Amino acid sequence: MGSGLLDRYEIKWSGQAAPVYLYLNMYDKDELKAPVGFTIKK
């Protein structure tokens, strides 16, 4: 089909200069990975 849903999440914490934006496709069936500096909690 060539289309899908992409969710955008804004991540911020105290002392942070600028927010981090994560773009996630919850329907992708590939290996689960985390951006550098983040971890995955199962």
* pLDDT recorded at residue 31: 85
pLDDT digits (tens, 9 = 90+) for 1-42: 667 789 999 999 999 999 999 998 887 788 888 899 899 887
Q: Distance between CA 6 and CA 36 in Å, rounded?
A: 20
Q: Distance between CA 18 and CA 27 in Å, rounded?
A: 28
* pLDDT recorded at residue 2: 64
Dump the DSSP string for the chain.
------EEEEE--TT-SS-EEEEE-TT--S-----TT-----
pTM of the model: 0.66
The residue type at 29: K
Structural domain spans, the chain: 1-42
